[in-house]
Amino acid sequence: MADERFLAKLWATIESRKADVAAQGSYTRKLLDAPPRIRRKIIEEAYEVNEAHQALSDGKDTKDHLAHEAADLLYHLLVLLASADVTPTEVYAVLEHRHGQPHVPKPGNP
């Protein structure tokens, strides 16, 4: 199931770790117990995506590496959302609402 439907499965696992406050050996549980660490991880993983994209653009890295870094970022974003009781459905609703609407740049932005 290597398509976007897998996100729903991963989200369900993250939610189950959230419900199990004593989940043994769970990295997700560790993150949920340490909100500042989740926020740090988002910045760190976004930086690594940026680096992987730059390296790929320079012909020094592979698409596979970028895919791995993007997977790390997506996973950590889902954990951050779960920690704040925001569901992917709420995020999708924002995207859907925007879809097809013309982009209105903010003053000063292209």
Ligand X SMILES: N=c1c2ncn([C@@H]3O[C@H](COP(=O)(O)OP(=O)(O)OP(=O)(O)O)[C@@H](O)[C@H]3O)c2ncn1[C@@H]1O[C@H](COP(=O)(O)O)[C@@H](O)[C@H]1O
> Under the rule (CB under 6 A), what is the footprint of ligand X?
10, 13, 17, 26-29, 41, 72, 75
User: To the nearest whole angstrom, how small is the minimum distance from the Cβ of residue 66 to ligand X?
Assistant: 14
User: To the nearest whole angstrom, how small is the minimum distance from the Cβ of residue 60 to ligand X?
Assistant: 20
The CA distances from residue 93 to 36, 61, 88, 98, in Å, are 27, 35, 8, 9
Is 36 or 108 the residue whose CB approaches ligand X more closely?
36
Q: Which residues, in sequence order, are CB contacts of 99 under 8 Å at separation 6+?
A: none
d(CA 77, CA 46): 10
Nearest-CB residue for ligand X: 28
User: To the nearest whole angstrom, how small is the minimum distance from the Cβ of residue 109 to ligand X?
Assistant: 31
